[in-house]
Amino acid sequence: MFIDHARIIVASGDGGNGCVSFRREKFVPRGGPDGGDGGDGGSVHIDATPGVGTLVAFRYKREFRAERGRHGMGARKTGRSGEDLIVRVPLGTIVHDADSGGPLADLINPDQRFTAAKGGRGGRGNARFATSTNQAPRRADDGSPGEERALILELKLLADVGLVGFPNAGKSTLISRISDAHPRIADYPFTTLTPHLGHVVVDSDFSYIVADIPGLIEGASRGAGLGTQFLRHIERTSVLLHLVDVSPLASPDPITRFEIVERELEQAPGGLASRPRIVVATKCDTLPPGEDHRGLVGLREHCEGKGFEFTRISAVTGEGVDRVVGRAGELLRRHRADAPVASGGHAAGGGKQDPDPA
pLDDT in tens, 2-31: 577 899 999 999 999 999 999 988 887 778
Task: Return the top range by mean pLDDT from 124-138, 176-190, 330-344.
Answer: 124-138
pLDDT score of 291:
55
The whole-angstrom separation of Cα 40 and Cα 251 is 65
Across 99-121, average pLDDT: 94
The whole-angstrom separation of Cα 307 and Cα 313 is 19
pLDDT at 106 over 50: yes
CA dihedral in degrees (227, 228, 229, 230; nearest 10)? 80
pLDDT at 62 over 70: yes
β pairing state of 148-155 and 93-97: antiparallel
pLDDT score of 349:
36
- Within a domain: 353: no
Give yes or no: residues 193 and 234 share one domain: yes
Give yes or no: residues 30 and 138 share one domain: yes
Give yes or no: residues 175 and 118 share one domain: no
Give yes or no: residues 272 and 314 share one domain: yes
The whole-angstrom separation of Cα 167 and Cα 250 is 11
CA dihedral in degrees (191, 195, 197, 202; nearest 10)? 70
- Within a domain: 358: no
pLDDT at 151 over 60: yes
Q: Give the mean pLDDT of the chain.
A: 83
Give yes or no: residues 324 and 227 share one domain: yes
- For the chain, counts of helices (H) and of strands (E): 5, 14
Which residues are within 8 A (CB) of 49 and not within 5 positions of it... i.e. 6 or more apart? 88, 89, 90, 91, 110, 111
Regarding predicted confidence, which is higher, 127 or 31? 127
The whole-angstrom separation of Cα 97 and Cα 112 is 18
Peptide bond into 252 cis (omega under 30): yes
Regarding predicted confidence, which is higher, 98 or 296? 98
Give yes or no: residues 221 and 324 share one domain: yes
Residue 240: give its domain's CATH number.
3.40.50.300
At residue 216, the 3 state secondary structure works out as coil
* 318 Ramachandran zone, left/alpha/beta (phi>0; psi -120 to 50): left
pLDDT at 219 over 50: no
The per-residue pLDDT for range 224-262, each reduced to its tens digit, is 444 445 566 777 888 999 999 988 888 888 899 899 888
Across 140-150, average pLDDT: 96
The per-residue pLDDT for range 170-190, each reduced to its tens digit, is 888 898 888 876 755 545 444
Which residues are within 8 A (CB) of 262 and not within 5 positions of it... i.e. 6 or more apart? 242, 273
pLDDT at 100 over 90: yes
Give yes or no: residues 204 and 90 share one domain: no
- Within a domain: 357: no
Q: Percent of the chain beyond pLDDT 90?
A: 46
Regarding predicted confidence, which is higher, 198 or 349? 198
Across 199-223, average pLDDT: 70
- Within a domain: 240: yes
Where in the sequence is the domain holding 199, given as residue range(s)? 161-338
- Within a domain: 343: no
Give yes or no: residues 116 and 174 share one domain: no
At residue 176, the 3 state secondary structure works out as helix
Name the pLDDT band for 339 (thresholds 50, 70, 90): low
pLDDT at 300 over 80: yes
Strands (E), the chain: 5-11, 44-48, 63-65, 85-89, 93-97, 103-107, 113-117, 148-155, 161-165, 196-203, 206-212, 239-245, 277-282, 309-312
Give yes or no: residues 138 and 192 share one domain: no
Residue that finishes a domain, picked among 135, 155, 175: 155
pLDDT score of 230:
56
pLDDT at 193 over 70: no
pLDDT at 158 over 80: no
Regarding predicted confidence, which is higher, 230 or 318? 318
- Within a domain: 174: yes
pLDDT score of 226:
43
pLDDT score of 80:
96
Residue 50: give its domain's CATH number.
2.70.210.12
pLDDT score of 229:
55
- Within a domain: 352: no
pLDDT score of 52:
84
Give yes or no: residues 103 and 168 share one domain: no
Across 77-106, average pLDDT: 94
The total number of structural domains that make up the chain:
2
Give yes or no: residues 133 and 226 share one domain: no
Task: Compute the C-alpha angle 10/16/22, nearest 5°.
Answer: 180
- Within a domain: 189: yes
Give yes or no: residues 295 and 180 share one domain: yes
CA 300 from centroid of its chain's CA atoms: 34
Residue that finishes a domain, picked among 155, 183, 213: 155
DSSP assigned state of 160: S
Residue that finishes a domain, picked among 134, 155, 176: 155
Provide the H-helix boundaries in 242-293.
Answer: 254-267
The whole-angstrom separation of Cα 55 and Cα 157 is 12
